[in-house]
Amino acid sequence: MEVEYINPFIISAIDIFDKVAQIELKKSEVGLTKGTQPLNEICIIFGIVGYLNGQVVYSFKQHTAQRVVSCMMPDSNPEKQAEYFESALSSLANMITGRATILLAGKKNIIQITPPIININNNKNTEYVNFPTIRANFTSRFGTLEINVALKINKINDREE
């Protein structure tokens, strides 16, 4: 896992949170871990395929995720926010992942993302990748966000160079 793979996710997360939810994220720590298993109860999981293969997992505590959704939907009542809770979080994570993979791909490489999987309280049988992962933690006025990025160059691309 190359350290520079995390930077587009950090940049994109800070920018998207600010633009979409008017929430200032501050990077608190970045470190290496084994696997993308999240530490929080709400997670959004993306597969990454193409030039790079792997997985990206965003995770929040329940109360943080609810506050983020309320900032994304400030004119909505709590019932409407609850109805669109998963969709709003998926959209937010999709924007971050999409922008980050565009930055990672550059002009000559192709990277695709799978549709997001939302896992609340580990209620789905989800497989997390088990190879070196960079974990970036962020703080905000509402709580923390964790992003786990595990990417490696696709072996087919490696042979072509």
pLDDT in tens, 103-160: 999 888 999 999 999 999 877 778 899 999 999 999 999 999 999 999 998 887 554 4
Q: What is the pTM of this model?
A: 0.91
Hey, is 127 helix, strand or coil?
coil
CA–CA dist 148, 57 (Å, integer)? 5
Tens of pLDDT, residues 57-110: 999 999 999 999 999 999 999 999 999 999 999 999 999 999 999 999 988 899
Q: Could you give all domains of the chain from N- to C-terminal order, each with its CATH number?
A: 3-160 (3.40.1550.10)
Cα–Cα nearest to 30, from 9, 60, 48, 15? 9
Q: What is the predicted pLDDT for the residue at 157? A: 59
Q: What is the predicted pLDDT for the residue at 65? A: 96
CA–CA dist 110, 34 (Å, integer)? 26
CA–CA dist 1, 17 (Å, integer)? 25
